[in-house]
Amino acid sequence: MNEDHDSPWEEALEVFFQPFLQLLFADVEALIDWRQAPVFLDKELQKISNDAEQGRRYVDKLAQVRLRDDVEHWLLIHTEVQGEPEQNFAERMYHYYSRIRERYQKPVISLAILTDTHPGFRPKCFSSHFAGSGVTFHFRTCKLLDFQADMDKLQHSDNPFALLVAAQLTAKLIRDGRQRADNLIGFYRLAIRQRLDRQLIGRLVIFLEWMVALPAESSDYYDAYIDQLQEKAIMPYVSSFERKGIAKGFEHGTQAILLKLLARRFGELDEATLARVQAAKTPELERWAENILEAGTLDEVFAEH
């Protein structure tokens, strides 16, 4: 996993880009000429990010696509993966739209995935007007919470991205470790039935495991169950070694991201803090990352709730 990625969503968007659009923004997907592969503009994205003001501003994915009308467009994908709604989210979307438009003079489509659990958080536009002058900016959003009633449909969809949405909902809405593990086992079974090559199935499984973090006892239960399936050759696609090895890579990526966020928020970190984060496992890292949103000190980030 690229350690510059903020979450598995960013890599998943790139790996399953067309399925993502098919599921969440079908009308946009229908506009694109898929005979030409999308180009993900990481360097251009970095330039935009470097120009942005300090704070929690970032663009997750910037893709260049060719539409069916043979006109080149730049497609801005912004995913909201924070646990709580952000007050200035719409303004942030506007800032990135205007920066990309100003720098590259290309048409831009702005899309946002909202993964929080607050039903009322549904930003769709930014508006600022005064004395007859101003601007109104509209962007597209998809609220994953709206899929909650369609979990069964998601799990049995031929679209691999539907499983990722189901996994995200499980991670957000289910707290019982055993139930999360049972759901993840179900996702594992469904993943290997997707009409994908072995490598893509493997990556899909890792994304699922990363999203649905398990406490230690439930993780042992999950691993034992999957190992049993492997021994019976029911699921030969992803070996236990591969799963644990790639998952470890995700863990290291999360450590790097958390350290970056802590340094941005609280300044230079001491040796004890660096060592604590580098020794932590995924559940702790995710809890600390959520704590950053409201913490005023490092002690509050690491506090047990």
Please spell the DSSP secondary structure of 32-71, one letter per residue.
Answer: B-TTS--EE-HHHHHHHHHHSPSSS----EEEEEEBTTS-
Q: What would the mean pLDDT of 36-43 be, rounded to a whole number?
A: 85
3-state secondary structure (DSSP) of residue 140 = strand
At residue 271, the pLDDT reads: 87
Between 243 and 115, the higher pLDDT residue:
115
First CA to last CA distance, the chain: 30
Q: Is the pTM value of this prediction over 0.75?
A: no
Most confident segment among 1-10, 115-124, 187-196 = 115-124
Q: What are the start-end ranges of the E strands in the chain? A: 39-40, 61-66, 72-80, 108-114, 125-130, 133-138, 140-143
At residue 52, the pLDDT reads: 52
Q: pLDDT confidence of 146, banded at 50, 70, 90?
A: very high
At residue 20, the pLDDT reads: 96
Angstrom distance (rounded) from CA 19 to CA 196: 12
Here the tokens at position 18 are 């067309």
CA dihedral 24, 92, 261, 45 (to 10 degrees): 70
At residue 286, the pLDDT reads: 73
At residue 59, the pLDDT reads: 47
At residue 305, the pLDDT reads: 61
From the list 230, 248, 242, the residue with the least C-alpha distance to 185 is: 230
Average pLDDT, the chain: 81
At residue 251, the pLDDT reads: 60
Radius of gyration of the CA atoms of the chain, in A: 20
Per-residue pLDDT at 25 exceeds 90: yes
Summarised one tens digit per residue, pLDDT across range 227-242 is 777 666 455 455 444 5
At residue 263, the pLDDT reads: 78
Angstrom distance (rounded) from CA 305 to CA 287: 9
At residue 23, the pLDDT reads: 98
Q: pLDDT confidence of 79, banded at 50, 70, 90?
A: low
Q: What would the mean pLDDT of 9-31 be, rounded to a whole number?
A: 92
Structural contact between residues 36 and 66, judged by C-beta atoms closer than 8 angstroms: yes
At residue 231, the pLDDT reads: 66
Per-residue pLDDT at 136 exceeds 60: yes
At residue 147, the pLDDT reads: 97
Give the start-to-end residue ranges of the domains of the chain. 8-146, 252-298
